[in-house]
Amino acid sequence: MCDQTFLAITFGPCDKCSENKPLMNIYLKNEPINYCSLCVEMMACQGLAKGETVQSLKAESESLKAKLEEERAKLHDVELHQVAEKMEALGQFVMKTRRTLKGHGNKVLCMDWCRDKRRIVSSSQDGKVIVWDAYTTNKEHAVTMPCTWVMACAYAPSGCAVACGGLDNKCSVYPLSLDKNENLASKKKSVAMHTNYLSSCSFTKSDMQILTSSGDGTCALWDVESGQLLQSFHGHSADVLSLDLAPSETGSTFVSGGCDKKANVWDMRSGQNVQSFETHDSDINSVKYYPSGDAFASGSDDATCRLYDLRADREVAIYSKDSIIFGASSVDFSLSGRLLFAGYNDYNINVWDVLKGTRVAILFGHENRVSTVRVSPDGTAFCSGSWDNTLRIWA
Residues in 247-276 at the binding interface with another protein, rule: CB under 8 A: 272-276
List the interface residues with another protein, window 339-358 (CB under 8 A): 339, 354-355
**Which residue in 103, 157, 377, 379 binds another protein (CB under 8 A)?**
379
The reply on whether position 377 binds another protein by CB under 8 A is no
Q: Which stretch binds another protein (CB under 8 A): 11-19, 81-89, 152-160, 247-255?
A: 81-89
- What is the layout of strands, in order, in the sheet containing 253-258? 240-245, 253-258, 263-267, 273-277
**Which residue in 149, 174, 290, 387 binds another protein (CB under 8 A)?**
290
List the interface residues with another protein, window 33-62 (CB under 8 A): 37, 40-41, 43-44, 47-48, 52-54, 57-58, 60-61
* Rounded Cα–Cα distance for residues 303 and 204 (Å): 30
List the interface residues with another protein, window 100-119 (CB under 8 A): 117-118
| Type of residue at 16 | K
Residue 140's Cβ-count burial label (10 Å; 0-12, 13-18, 19+) is middle
> Closest distance between another protein and the C-beta of residue 337, in Å?
6
> Closest distance between another protein and the C-beta of residue 335, in Å?
4
DSSP 8-state code for residue 348: -
* Rounded Cα–Cα distance for residues 338 and 336 (Å): 5
The reply on whether position 189 binds another protein by CB under 8 A is no
**Which residue in 235, 257, 357, 385 binds another protein (CB under 8 A)?**
235
The reply on whether position 297 binds another protein by CB under 8 A is no
**Which residue in 10, 12, 13, 68 binds another protein (CB under 8 A)?**
68
* Rounded Cα–Cα distance for residues 110 and 38 (Å): 46
The reply on whether position 378 binds another protein by CB under 8 A is yes
Contact criterion met (CB below 8 Å) for 172 and 165: yes
* Rounded Cα–Cα distance for residues 190 and 122 (Å): 18
Residue 66's Cβ-count burial label (10 Å; 0-12, 13-18, 19+) is exposed
> Which residue, 24 or 268, has its beta carbon nearer to another protein?
24
> Which residue, 76 or 321, has its beta carbon nearer to another protein?
76
> Which residue, 1 or 95, has its beta carbon nearer to another protein?
95
Contact criterion met (CB below 8 Å) for 2 and 301: no
Compute how many residues bind another protein; rule: CB under 8 A. 74
